[in-house]
Amino acid sequence: MGIAIYPGSFDPVTLGHLNIIKRGAEIFDRLIVCVMVNSEKVGLFTPAERVELLRRVTAELPNVEVDASQGLLADYARKRKAHVLVKGLRAVSDYESEIQMAMINSKLYSRLDTVFLYTSPKYAYLSSTVVKEMARYGADLSDFVPREIIRDVQAKFYEKNREG
């Protein structure tokens, strides 16, 4: 089924993201997970750190590549010769902004289509924002992020608290 791009902030990658990555990698020959800038969000991890965490949790998935881009998603897709974007949809509330983004992206690059995968009900409540909130208060993160990165998320908050 060709190449698809799964774009997002991934700040940090959650179990919900990983579920979409695994299912996308079953559907497409190659899935490029791309860390992009969302101008509406303030980052916790740097883009390079997010890439490193994503690479670690996708190391066993041979047709998944992790990359980063600072530009427009449509330009990145054109450069990578990809015609499909994969997005996860958690709830109806995600739908409006996701449809708007899908339309903008296809306006910028007419060959680009967006495919939505519904989020597994197990992770319907999950987001990177929830993970950061839980981590801030020292909650157990094992239901939220892949176990390989739990320490990194905890360490980030420890570092931040020390900086004051």
Residues that bind ligand PNS (CB under 6 A): 7-9, 36-38, 41, 72-73, 101, 104-105
**Residue number, 73 or 145, with CB nearest to ligand PNS:** 73
Backbone angle region of 138, left / alpha / beta, with phi > 0 → left and psi within -120 to 50 → alpha: left
Map 78-103 to HEC letters: HHCCCCEEEEEECCHHHHHHHHHHHH
Query: Closer CB to ligand PNS, residue 41 or residue 136?
Result: 41
Structure tokens at 10: 């991934």
CA-CA-CA-CA dihedral for 61, 11, 71, 60, to nearest 10: -10
- Among candidate residues 41, 79, 147, 160, the one labeled active-site is 41
Whose CB is nearest to ligand PNS? Answer: 8
Please, which residue, 70 or 161, has the CB nearer to ligand PNS? 70
Shortest spacing between CB 162 and ligand PNS, in angstroms: 27
Report residue 79 as tokens: 């450069």
Active site positions, annotated: 17, 41, 90, 128
